[in-house]
Structure 1
Amino acid sequence: MIPNNIGNNKLCFLLIYEERDILFSEDYRKEKDTLGEVQVPSDAHYGSQTQRAIDNFPISGVRLPRSFIRAQGIIKAAAAKANMDTGSLDKKIGEAIIQASEEVIDGKWDHQFLVDIYQAGAGTSQNMNANEIIGNRASILLDIPFDEKKKRVHPHDHVNMSQSTNDTFPSALNIAAVEYLVHHLLPSLKDLQTAMENKSEEFKDVLKTGRTHLHDAVPMRLGQEFSGFAATIKESYESIHHTTDALYELGLGGNAIGTSVNLNPDYIPNVISDIKRRTSLPFREPENLFSFMQNRNAPIRTMMALKELAIHLIKITSDLRLLSSGPRTGLYEITLPGVQPGSTIMPGKVNPAILEMTHMVCCQIIGYETAITTAGIAGQLEINVMMPLIAYTLLQSIEIMTNAITTLEKKCINGIKANKENCQIWMNASLSVVTGVSPIFGYDLASQIGKQADEENKTIRTVLEERGLLTEETKKAIDPRGMV
């Protein structure tokens, strides 16, 4: 069902509503706000300000994710309890708000969070979407009819008590980001690191040629190559884990600009204490409320760490694609598990699909980092008005990176096999073993030997033998096993 007050935006809203499978009744109720009357679907828990945002921003049809809505519910429940504890909020109303907020935490009303991510005013519409849903739901729980306006749970006076969009929105972002990082992304990275370490151990006896500039280099072990991948993932894990600490700061109680205007002094410690209880995570007050309100330091740093991880994953997945290239005309030193047919025209072809997917996700992450950087620049004075964009971009980045890493580990890395014969063939053909005789004959003569072998398409051993230089010492010097 499409609201009948969308004017020329009918087509856009048709697409948005159809995508979400949202079915509201054809009946409407009238609600008033400071700008006048608004028609709202009669079975919607949201109110006039949410409806105006739906009408005003038919941009993408994309909303903030479940993790953010859950975080909003956590804040609203904790705020209600803190306000009850300080005596600022009636207990009966407060308990109804907490119950309604917990329903939001559990995802019961996700289908009524309809504000587009491209909205106005640092997330005011998103905050009001939550306030109105929770307020109206609390009124229903208290058996208060819609027409008894003065008795209803008020979205501003009750649900938003002691709060502002400016402190709750970035705090919800931090909660959502930390929960996903701690419970999903970081464990998936640790699993990927472990998978790489297992392969390093499995391939420790497989000799192969190394390559620099995509050309032959000295011999190495395949296990050593994978140990480098594992260490790189470990470093990214530690970097992201370090940036997570800044996300534990919650500026709740800062209100509009950080002055804590109209606030009971016990509210801040109480609200943060309840959030810690609900999440089992060590959230804390920021060192400076004004800095928290003005800047999105923690999300920006986290996004930069995700970008660094993306860069490393692109390098690793590109390496694995090269090592598995073939199977007849490439390096083919490793075999990847086949997950699906790779061509609609070439029968039997199997592509490195999981590696390609991971590369694509990483490209998206790098683009998202640019979006957050430019949004971070756009803050002025006491607030950054680009918070909805920052929230969506960071949370989307964390989610798709987590999914990509989990898929990479389970459907690719764990199933990689070493092609020992191919590794041996390429290593024996490599000219780089001439490096082993450089200390014996000097760099210049060793270079001549290598050049001759290349021009005459011979092995280093053959050239040494033809020159009368093949001795027990030089045999040992060019033995790849002695060079790793």
Structure 2
Amino acid sequence: MTSNSYRREQDTLGEILVPKDAYYGAQTQRAINNFQISNRRFPHEFIKVQAMIKAAAAKANMENELLAKSIGNAIIGASEEVMEGKWDHQFVLDVYQAGAGTSQNMNANEVIANRATELLDDAEKHGRIHPNDHVNMSQSTNDTFHAVIHITAAVIINQKLLPRVKQLHDELKRKSIELMPVMKSGRTHLHDAIPIRMGQEFSGYAETIHEVYQQLERVTDSLYEIGIGGTAIGTRNNIHPDYSKKVIQEISRRTNLPFREPTDMFSYMQNTNAPIRVMQVIKELSIHLIKITSDLRLLASGPRTGLTEISLPGVQPGSTIMPGKVNPAILEMTHMVCCQVIGYETTIATAGVAGQLEINVMMPLIAHTFIESLEIMSNALPTLVTKCISGITANEENCKNFMENSLALVTGISSIVGYDMAAQIGKEADSRNVPIKQVLQERELLTPEIEKALDPNGMV
């Protein structure tokens, strides 16, 4: 690009060239120059909340007579354009950037300041709206960036994740009722166990997800604490006494969520407790989903050489070399998402350890991994439900054959003939590869009482 494509801007380090058509300014440009790491940007949901805080701060500062109404209203107007996504392309910074998110905060301040200046009436354009003095008034990166993490996560959890975890629970519950008549062999250690209803297996899956849903509801409450007004280190320096209350009220109004001030501002500023706690629950959800999806892949294995007790909906061809092969693609995708989330939980825990004194400077890393975890899990769950769980059917004949040939049926007669005799009968049936009943008949032990004890319906 030619020199005519740039403008000269100045910050506390001196002059720097910035693209002429960019709404961001000098500090954003320095961060662009310094951090070409991953080509990953913060998502619109995060940028939207950044702008929401800027608008709420401008409103509070106007009401507290610290900011001229013409400037405050222009900042609110520019912030709302950012919230709508109009200027997402101006938020250009890599997620791996300077600690605490200072660069990301300045990206928002500069874009909003320059756009707000354009929105001023000609009669009001007596000077440029300043990114620090006006847009960042009463704020620090240290309190606002931290708050953006909490607000963005709380919105995603309430609007997406919680409803979708509930959707998964409800579908598993419905499927458990549908499959309750199907009798099958249980398995422990991947070996024969006493009979179970397929619906009982699925009811276990459903309740597991329900318990995680309840935990997620409880732990999300910690995200409602936002330290707006704590400024640099929690001492509320350079703010009006009513500032925090007014900003939090405006954010609660815009999100319809019950945000509040922290119980202790200094604890809030020093730590990233809420993301750590929430991610522990998301990690647990991932662990359970891996268990459930692994079970379903095993139960659907085949179609000729595996268990094939259930059939999954076919969603796409499974091989470029084996014609007609169909793989459990949705279950595999879900497992991958869960692996990523478990890794991200470790990242957030490690970043949490890196807090020092009055601030945790790893907040950009925490923000990126936390929000991406919530997003990919929120997107995976409805795919799992609609493209897999809803369409599962039982292969009753296979289930019946496995159950009737299970060596564990001998458990039913152990209280009649004794543990040792039952074990001998089971071993003989196994060595000869014949049913338990055949051995009992040959030994003239198949009495009505024992035949009743062998009935799988009496074991479930």
Aligned residue number for residue 14 of structure 1 = none
Contact 1:248 1:282 in 2 (8 A): yes
- Structure 2 CA distance, aligned partners of 1:144 and 1:454? 93
Q: What CA deviation, in whole Å up to 9, does each residue of 1:416-461 have, x standing for no partner?
A: 0110011001101101110000111111111111111111111111
**Match 2:351 to one of 375, 382, 395:** 375
Q: What CA deviation, in whole Å up to 9, does each residue of 1:333-378 have, x standing for no partner?
A: 0000000000001000000000001001111111111111111000
Contact 1:3 1:40 in 2 (8 A): no
Aligned residue number for residue 277 of structure 1 = 253
Aligned residue number for residue 380 of structure 2 = 404
SS at match of 1:332: coil
Q: How does 1:283-362 map to 2 (within 5 A)?
A: 283-362=259-338
Q: What CA deviation, in whole Å up to 9, does each residue of 1:300-324 have, x standing for no partner?
A: 1111111111110000000000000
Normalised by the length of structure 1, the TM-score is 0.93
Q: Kindly indicate whether residue 104 of structure 2 is the aligned counterpart of residue 131 of structure 1.
A: no
Q: Kindly indicate whether residue 202 of structure 2 is the aligned counterpart of residue 226 of structure 1.
A: yes
SS at match of 2:17: strand
Residue 233 of structure 1 and its aligned partner are, at CA, apart by 0.8
Q: What CA deviation, in whole Å up to 9, does each residue of 1:57-102 have, x standing for no partner?
A: 1111111111110110110010000111111111110000001111
**Match 1:101 to one of 66, 79, 92:** 79
SS at match of 1:151: coil
Give the letter aligned to residue 269 of structure 1. Answer: K
Q: How does 1:77-116 map to 2 (within 5 A)?
A: 77-116=55-94
Q: Kindly indicate whether residue 97 of structure 2 is the aligned counterpart of residue 119 of structure 1.
A: yes
SS at match of 1:462: helix
- Structure 2 CA distance, aligned partners of 1:181 and 1:262? 33
- Structure 2 CA distance, aligned partners of 1:358 and 1:152? 50
Aligned residue number for residue 12 of structure 1 = none
Q: Kindly indicate whether residue 223 of structure 2 is the aligned counterpart of residue 247 of structure 1.
A: yes
Q: How does 1:426-441 map to 2 (within 5 A)?
A: 426-441=402-417
Q: How does 1:44-63 map to 2 (within 5 A)?
A: 44-63=22-41
Normalised by the length of structure 2, the TM-score is 0.98
Unaligned runs of 5+ in 2: none
Residue 283 of structure 1 and its aligned partner are, at CA, apart by 0.4
- Structure 1 CA distance, aligned partners of 2:2 and 2:380? 38
- Structure 2 CA distance, aligned partners of 1:218 and 1:302? 38
Aligned residue number for residue 69 of structure 1 = 47
Contact 1:144 1:152 in 2 (8 A): no
- Structure 1 CA distance, aligned partners of 2:44 and 2:369? 14
- Structure 2 CA distance, aligned partners of 1:139 and 1:342? 56
Residue 143 of structure 1 and its aligned partner are, at CA, apart by 4.9
- Structure 2 CA distance, aligned partners of 1:443 and 1:103? 75
Q: Kindly indicate whether residue 162 of structure 2 is the aligned counterpart of residue 196 of structure 1.
A: no
Give the letter aligned to residue 107 of structure 1. Answer: G
Alignment RMSD: 1.2
Unaligned runs of 5+ in 1: 5-25
- Structure 2 CA distance, aligned partners of 1:213 and 1:248? 43
- Structure 2 CA distance, aligned partners of 1:262 and 1:381? 21
Residue 121 of structure 1 and its aligned partner are, at CA, apart by 2.6
**Match 2:393 to one of 417, 422, 425:** 417
**Match 2:439 to one of 463, 466, 476:** 463
Contact 1:38 1:48 in 2 (8 A): yes
| Identity %, equivalent residues | 65
Contact 1:71 1:105 in 2 (8 A): yes
Give the letter aligned to residue 397 of structure 2. Answer: E
- Structure 2 CA distance, aligned partners of 1:240 and 1:373? 18
SS at match of 1:195: helix
